[in-house]
């Protein structure tokens, strides 16, 4: 059945004309829903994104707090922490005048090459759903700010995500890809969902009633609103199939004319429109828009001390200690007089990944910042980059002044192909990068002139790059120095900072000034397979000084390592390499093996080495056997440098656990050659691994060549724990109120305070007729304990934890027989067998 609503909203719906209702089927602009002033329907502003409220500007907007990415949050296995982050994000959204936050992302990590994995929680649907539920509760209950649970459904890859057809079995959909959404829908009552771009088994999500009506509304009893991802509304039939609002506006599929025509032909009914509009009205009511809750008149940058503390705590708690031979960690500053900080990420704050999760942070703390501020007085700190990992030259910024006398560039917008008249609009930008995408003030422009006066800080034959979304030219002192005759091949990649560039060198004299001007025209077609990219202008100008580019940073790093008591190497990805819009090409660190060569060279020069990796995905580690300590730091938010140092010094005892399996090689994964760039020549991607995703796959591979390097749920501590005295209460039956309670004693048997995560898995009875995973996570609990302290933790699960999807009967089933209940601290098959095990019997097979 369709969603209901309060009498107040039904009465309001009846007052609307048909044209007004059609207006409410799509957004007014990029970030706002329509206002119907005649009947008092207010507008609602939305904002990206899952780890920070960016506000109305995609780039260089009002500063905002940057929280740890969702994969980092998942590594904490801490429900309360996820709730607190959700609550804080609600406060942040309000400061940007928004009452709907576009997040969280709960799509499962199918492949370690997922360009957007960092934005989602985990490979495991239960962990994803459990932590996302707390995030949503904190966001909605404390602040009445709606979430947009995304991306419903199967947005696991970014390669051709706007057109790809994903072939997924019903069982895999039910057990893996729908499951986290189902958990959040039932536990947290999310006020909105966001539909996804890809086709599933031949049709877009919004072009088939199966997902948005049959499953979401009828089976799960969801009573909220569904909006499209930006540009993901596929047709006018989506009104009938359950999509409430087309985003962004103005509409493309749901214009007044198209909707009226669809009514006449019977493609949709007015009752369909009423159902869609009612869902939007109910959302406005839930966030208080009818209760004089006004939009903040201007976006505010509120740098709250309590948010700083929360970000730092969540970031450090999400760090995962994966190796610590000889107890090289934690660092004792009293015994360490000289530390060298090496690697391309030592002076880079890996606060977030690229795309919708990026934002203009209030500030960002690099590892180098944290070390020098806290240890610089007592410990000698040296630094070398050690490796270049440029994918795109850094934006030209230093030494630039626009014609208004302000730092940066000036963009002038013209309606003609030649900028001969006065521009109809001008805007300032802080650096050599601009775009018209999502800028409602410059719709229809035909040319953009982008200019600055550049006084080089140093002389040299500097390395210069240039690119445009559409045909573009670059002039220096009036002379054409670079030209791009065609539109860029990948518009979305360009927009997200991964440009294909024209590169050259230019002789600059620091005593002179240079006029730098670009002229760029719109891309005439959507070379991103997304209509939003049509008729957009963008330009990027990058520059790297000659001395920086040609410096032998590897030799410098080796020399510093030889002289130091301790070498800490910071490796990983930047937003140029890990971003929405592009999947990763391989599991190797960028670029061209330079970071792997750096680590190998440093460990040869100084065996006292710690490697800190900041990525949102597992990477290959060819040097791991020679390195005594290894930490996975994810993207830990604006306090990333402090969060890392807190763990390195032992001020925070590491307690993070891997929310993903860590393969040795990409070839060992279940989706190898059936994901992203592997399938680039095909618009069809088959989910060949079925339900065997992540640890479910590696359980099958255990003991062989494809055995996982680090298992899901794994993570070390500076202390030790003991599990004992397991108790099993309750039962699994058809009764909805029945369930199993697992009680286990956890004791800290080490010498310092720490936290341990107890994980409960269910191993089903052997099935001849169906190939089931060896085990499935059904619950977890985190215990924080002082040295010597013991505590009982309780973990509950119900029949859905033991259920599987029966394709023949098209229903959930629970098998008859003994279900092993495995209590462990990781998914490692050896670990679950040496920890604790008990059994729950199911007397007969049944369907929940």
Q: Which long-range contacts (CB under 8 A, 24 or more apart) does 372-378 make?
A: 374/645, 375/333, 375/339, 378/333
Residue 653 burial (C-beta neighbours within 10 Å; 0-12, 13-18, 19+) = buried
User: What SS3 state is found at 22?
Assistant: helix
| Distance separating alpha carbons of residues 584 and 582, to the nearest angstrom | 7
527 closest CA partner among 490, 501, 472, 498: 490
Strand 803-806 and strand 203-204: the pairing is unpaired
Alpha-carbon distances, residue 88 vs 301, 309, 317, 637, 641 (angstroms): 14, 11, 17, 13, 21
Q: Where are the beta strands (DSSP E) in 198-296?
A: 199-200, 203-204, 225-228
**8-state DSSP, 327:** G
Beta strands 538-544; 460-468: pairing state:
antiparallel
**Residue pair 507/529 in contact by the 8 Å Cβ criterion:** no
3-state SS assignment for residue 542: strand
Can 124 be counted among the known catalytic residues? no
Tokens linked to 637:
């938010």
What is the C-alpha end-to-end distance of the chain, expressed in Å? 21
The span from the CA of 64 to the CA of 299, in Å, is 10
Q: Check: CB of residue 758 under 8 Å from CB of residue 743.
A: no
CA distance 603 to 610: 9
491: left (phi over 0), alpha (psi -120 to 50) or beta: alpha
Return d(Cα 354, Cα 66) in angstroms, integer: 13
DSSP letters of 291-323? TT-PPPSS------HHHHHHHHHHHHHH-EEEE
CA distance 348 to 120: 22
Cis peptide before 846 (omega within 30 of 0): no
| Tokens representing residue 167 in the block | 């072939």
DSSP per-residue string spanning 727-773: EEEE---S-TT--EEEEEEEEE-SSS-EEEEEEEEEEPPP-SSS---
Q: Which residues pair with 254 in a beta bridge?
A: none
Among 158, 229, 272, 395, the active-site one is 229
CA atoms of 560 and 825, how far apart (whole Å): 39
Q: Which two tokens stand for residue 97?
A: 């005048």
Query: Residue 429's beta-bridge partner residues?
Result: 409
Beta-sheet strand order (sheet of 165-167)? 203-204, 199-200, 165-167, 684-686
DSSP-derived secondary structure letter, 43: P
Residue 28, number of CB atoms within 10 A of its CB = 18
Matching residue, tokens 């839930």 = 286
Q: Is 208 exposed, middle or buried (0-12, 13-18, 19+ CB in 10 A)?
A: buried
Q: Order the strands of the 192-195 sheet from edge to edge.
A: 149-152, 192-195, 225-228
CB 91 within 8 A of CB 644: no
- CA–CA separation, 1 and 226 (whole Å): 15
Closest CA to 330 of 721, 710, 644: 644
101 within 8 A of 156, measured Cβ to Cβ: no
CA atoms of 322 and 714, how far apart (whole Å) = 8
Catalytic residues: 229
């Amino acid at each position: 059945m369709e969603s209901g609503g309060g009498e107040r909203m039904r009465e309001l719906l009846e007052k609307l004309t048909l044209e007004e209702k059609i207006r409410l089927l799509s957004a007014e602009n990029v970030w706002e829903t329509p206002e119907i002033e005649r009947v008092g329907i207010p507008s609602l502003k939305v904002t990206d994104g899952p780890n920070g409220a960016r506000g109305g500007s995609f780039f260089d907007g009002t500063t905002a707090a940057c929280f740890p990415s969702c994969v980092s949050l998942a590594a904490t296995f801490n429900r309360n922490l996820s709730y607190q982050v959700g609550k804080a994000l609600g406060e942040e959204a309000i400061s940007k005048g928004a009452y709907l936050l576009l997040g969280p992302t709960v799509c499962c990590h199918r492949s370690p090459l997922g360009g957007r994995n960092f934005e989602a929680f985990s490979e495991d649907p239960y962990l994803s759903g459990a932590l996302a539920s707390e995030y949503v509760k904190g966001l909605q209950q404390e602040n009445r700010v709606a979430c947009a649970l995304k991306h419903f459904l199967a947005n696991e890859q970014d390669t051709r995500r706007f057109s790809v057809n994903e072939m997924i079995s019903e069982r895999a959909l039910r057990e893996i890809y729908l499951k986290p959404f189902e958990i959040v829908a039932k536990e947290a009552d999310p006020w909105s969902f966001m539909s996804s771009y890809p086709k599933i088994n031949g049709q877009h999500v919004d072009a088939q009633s199966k997902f948005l009506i049959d499953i979401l509304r009828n089976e799960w009893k969801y009573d909220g609103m569904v909006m499209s991802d930006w540009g993901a509304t596929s047709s006018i039939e989506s009104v009938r199939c359950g999509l409430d609002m087309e985003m962004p506006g103005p509409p493309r599929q749901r214009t007044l004319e198209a909707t009226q025509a669809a009514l006449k032909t019977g493609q949709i009914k007015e009752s369909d429109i009423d159902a869609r509009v009612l869902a939007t009205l109910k959302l406005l009511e839930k966030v208080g828009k009818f209760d004089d809750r006004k939009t903040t008149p201007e976006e505010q940058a509120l740098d709250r001390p309590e948010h700083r503390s929360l970000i730092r705590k969540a970031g450090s708690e999400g760090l995962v200690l994966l190796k610590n031979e000889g107890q090289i960690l934690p660092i004792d500053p009293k015994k360490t007089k000289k530390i060298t900080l090496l690697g391309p990420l030592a002076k880079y704050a890996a606060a977030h990944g690229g795309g919708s999760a990026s934002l203009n942070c209030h500030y960002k703390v690099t590892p180098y910042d944290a070390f020098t501020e806290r240890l610089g007085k007592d410990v000698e700190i040296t630094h070398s980059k050690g490796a270049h990992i440029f994918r795109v030259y850094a934006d030209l910024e230093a030494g630039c002044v626009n014609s208004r006398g302000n730092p940066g560039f000036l963009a002038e917008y013209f309606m003609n192909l030649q900028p001969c008249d006065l521009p109809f609009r001008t805007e300032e930008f802080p650096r050599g990068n601009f775009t018209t995408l999502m800028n409602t003030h410059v719709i229809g422009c035909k040319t953009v002139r982008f200019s600055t006066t550049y006084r080089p800080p140093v002389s040299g034959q500097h390395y210069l790059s240039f690119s445009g979304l559409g045909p573009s030219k670059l002039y220096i002192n009036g002379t054409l120095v670079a030209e791009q005759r065609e539109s860029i091949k990948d518009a979305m990649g360009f927009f997200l900072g991964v440009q294909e560039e024209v590169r050259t060198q230019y002789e600059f004299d620091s005593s002179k000034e240079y006029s730098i001007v670009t002229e760029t025209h719109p891309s005439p077609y959507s070379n991103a397979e997304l209509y939003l990219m049509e008729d957009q202008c963008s330009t990027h100008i990058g520059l790297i000084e000659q001395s920086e580019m040609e410096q032998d940073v590897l030799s410098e790093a080796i020399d510093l390592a030889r002289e130091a008591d301790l070498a800490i190497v910071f490796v990983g990805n930047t937003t140029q390499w890990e971003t929405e819009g592009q999947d990763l090409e391989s599991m190797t660190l960028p670029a061209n093996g330079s970071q792997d060569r750096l680590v190998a060279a440093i460990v040869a020069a100084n065996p006292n080495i710690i490697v800190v990796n900041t990525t949102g995905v597992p990477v290959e580690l060819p040097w791991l056997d020679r390195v005594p300590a290894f930490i996975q730091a994810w993207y830990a938010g604006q306090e990333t440098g402090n969060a890392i140092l807190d763990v390195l010094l032992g001020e925070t005892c590491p307690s993070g656990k891997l929310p993903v399996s860590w393969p040795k090689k990409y070839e060992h994964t279940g989706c190898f050659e059936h994901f992203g760039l592997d399938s680039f020549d095909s618009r069809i991607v088959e989910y060949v691994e079925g339900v065997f995703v992540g640890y479910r796959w590696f359980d099958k591979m255990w003991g062989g060549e494809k055995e996982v390097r680090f298992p899901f749920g794994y993570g070390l501590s500076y202390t030790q724990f003991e599990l004992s005295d397991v108790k099993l209460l309750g039962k699994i039956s058809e009764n909805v109120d029945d369930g199993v309670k697992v009680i286990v004693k956890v004791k800290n048997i080490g010498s310092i305070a720490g936290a341990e995560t107890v994980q409960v898995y269910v191993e089903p009875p052997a099935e001849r007729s169906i190939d089931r995973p060896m085990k499935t996570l059904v619950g977890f609990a985190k215990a924080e304990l002082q040295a010597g302290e013991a505590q009982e933790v309780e973990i509950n699960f119900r029949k859905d934890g033991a259920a599987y999807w029966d394709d023949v009967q098209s229903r959930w089933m629970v098998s008859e027989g003994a279900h092993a209940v495995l209590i462990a601290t990781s998914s490692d098959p050896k670990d679950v067998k040496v920890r604790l095990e008990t059994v729950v019997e199911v007397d007969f097979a049944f369907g929940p």
